């Protein structure tokens, strides 16, 4: 597979800029951003997030104009990632384009946008590099080839674990239908096992994932029918001390209520 370095990516950006009819902002993540951070010598594609559909349409239209063609894929990984468009040129360089969400719905949050580093500014394109911490999160919740290798490079570069911890918890709050803490932990655990590294606050990430899964199981059983505390302890085979704080949080967040000794969904 042919690979492309940062100079090639910059050349493509200049060509696209010349043909754009609208000013847009592009946030680069994945291998493309890592190549500009000097964490990869080359990449096969550029992953970009745009904050509006109108900007995405302008970019896609210009890519077609400059010789790119849409790639149809049945690859389950890319389907799950909810890619807005996959476009490739004759040399095999590909754009994976996302709008506001990526990786099964992970939100491109305001904090992620603030952490992004301004990069190259052209007459019609402003480019930003997503922070290494946020790229690490994106990589952790996906399972594409070389994602764990990229996570190791980012880990070796140096990461603020508190940023990662705060962001992944916020993502879990933004989309309670998804088990983001658990998705993240699976990727983190695969990284640790593959590269035999010690990751800061690993036990805390494990605890967050376990609590998330326990909360989702509690909600699932309560939705079926109201349950007492003893019912839940028996079904889930957990200690009272593990379940009570979660039930308290669910009540405080107005997701469940307690009536006549039984918990039920609202």
CATH number at residue 210: 1.10.10.10
Q: Rounded distance, CA 194 to CA 140, Å?
A: 13
- How many domains does the chain divide into? 2
Burial class (CB in 10 A: 0-12, 13-18, 19+), 118: exposed
Clarify whether residues 18 and 113 are in a common domain.
Answer: yes
Clarify whether residues 35 and 104 are in a common domain.
Answer: yes
Average pLDDT over residues 158-172: 95
Residue 178 lies in a domain: no
What are the φ/ψ torsions at residue 118 (nearest 5 degrees)? -55, 135
Determine the pLDDT at residue 208. 94
Residue 112 belongs to domain with CATH number? 3.30.460.40
The β-bridge relationship of strands 256-259 and 262-265 is antiparallel
Q: Rounded distance, CA 35 to CA 202, Å?
A: 27
DSSP state of 73: -
Clarify whether residues 237 and 106 are in a common domain.
Answer: no
Determine the pLDDT at residue 188. 96
Residue 67, domain extent: 6-160
Of the two residues 242 and 24, the one the predictor is more confident about is 24
Determine the pLDDT at residue 174. 84
Of the two residues 30 and 64, the one the predictor is more confident about is 64
pLDDT exceeds cutoff 80 at 98? yes
Q: Dump pLDDT digits (tens) for 15-52.
A: 999 999 999 999 999 888 998 898 888 888 899 999 99
Clarify whether residues 155 and 52 are in a common domain.
Answer: yes
Question: Which residue has tokens 């992953």?
Answer: 47
Determine the pLDDT at residue 77. 60
Average pLDDT over residues 202-224: 93
Q: Rounded distance, CA 39 to CA 103, Å?
A: 22
Clarify whether residues 132 and 29 are in a common domain.
Answer: yes
Clarify whether residues 238 and 122 are in a common domain.
Answer: no
Determine the pLDDT at residue 179. 86
Average pLDDT over residues 5-19: 93
Clarify whether residues 149 and 234 are in a common domain.
Answer: no
132, 138 Cβ separation under 8 angstroms? no
């Amino acid at each position: 597979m042919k690979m492309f370095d940062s100079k090639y990516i910059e050349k493509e950006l200049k060509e696209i800029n010349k043909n754009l009819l609208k000013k847009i902002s592009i946030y680069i993540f994945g291998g493309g951003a890592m190549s500009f951070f000097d964490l990869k010598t080359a990449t096969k594609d550029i992953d970009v997030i745009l904050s509006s559909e109108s900007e995405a349409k302008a970019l896609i239209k210009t890519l077609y104009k400059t010789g790119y063609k849409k790639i149809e894929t049945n690859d389950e990984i890319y389907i799950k990632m909810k890619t807005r468009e996959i476009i490739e040129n004759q040399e095999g360089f590909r754009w994976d384009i996302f709008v506001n969400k990526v990786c099964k719905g992970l939100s491109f949050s305001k904090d992620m946008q603030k952490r992004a580093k301004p990069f190259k500014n052209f007459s019609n394109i402003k480019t930003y590099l997503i922070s290494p911490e946020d790229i690490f999160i994106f990589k952790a919740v996906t399972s594409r080839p070389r994602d764990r290798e990229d996570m190791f490079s980012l880990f070796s570069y140096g990461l603020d674990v508190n940023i990662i911890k705060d962001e992944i918890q916020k993502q879990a709050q933004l989309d309670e239908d998804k088990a983001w803490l658990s998705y993240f932990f699976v990727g983190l655990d695969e990284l640790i096992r593959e590269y035999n590294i010690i990751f800061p606050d690993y036990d805390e990430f494990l605890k967050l994932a376990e609590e998330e899964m326990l909360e989702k199981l509690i909600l699932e059983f309560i939705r079926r029918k109201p349950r007492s505390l003893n019912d839940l302890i028996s079904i889930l085979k957990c200690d009272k001390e593990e379940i009570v704080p979660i039930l308290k949080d669910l009540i405080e967040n107005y997701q469940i209520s307690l009536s006549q000794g039984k918990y039920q969904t609202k």
